[in-house]
């Protein structure tokens, strides 16, 4: 098992080490994914509980939990 994992590791390690044009493409892919998630988070996934005090947060979470429980039954 250990030898198999080492062979798999060496396969990927040698492959990435000897890349010529693949490395810039992977860098571009990672950069695009990071930018995509940052943009999505900023515009579509705003924090729901920001700007609320503790009592409002507790009430909101309780409502969401009870709604989820009622929907699953």
In this prediction, residue 29 carries a pLDDT of 93
Res 73 pLDDT > 70: no
Instruction: Identify the domain containing residue 61 by its residue range.
Output: 2-72
pLDDT of residue 47: 81
Contact 48, 60 (CB under 8 A): yes
Residue 13 CA to residue 15 CA, distance in Å, equals 5
- Could you give the number of structural domains in the chain? 1
Q: Could you read off the pLDDT of 11-62 as tens digits, one per residue?
A: 988 888 888 888 888 899 999 999 999 888 888 877 888 889 999 999 999 9
SS3 of residue 57 by DSSP: helix
Between residues 56 and 73, which one has the greater pLDDT?
Answer: 56
């Amino acid at each position: 098992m250990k030898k198999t994992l080492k062979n798999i590791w060496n396969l990927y390690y040698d492959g990435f080490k000897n890349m010529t044009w693949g490395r810039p493409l992977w860098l571009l892919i990672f950069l695009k994914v990071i930018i995509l998630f940052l943009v999505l988070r900023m515009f579509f996934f705003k924090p729901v509980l920001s700007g609320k005090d503790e009592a409002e947060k507790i009430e909101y979470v309780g409502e969401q939990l009870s709604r989820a429980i009622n929907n699953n039954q």
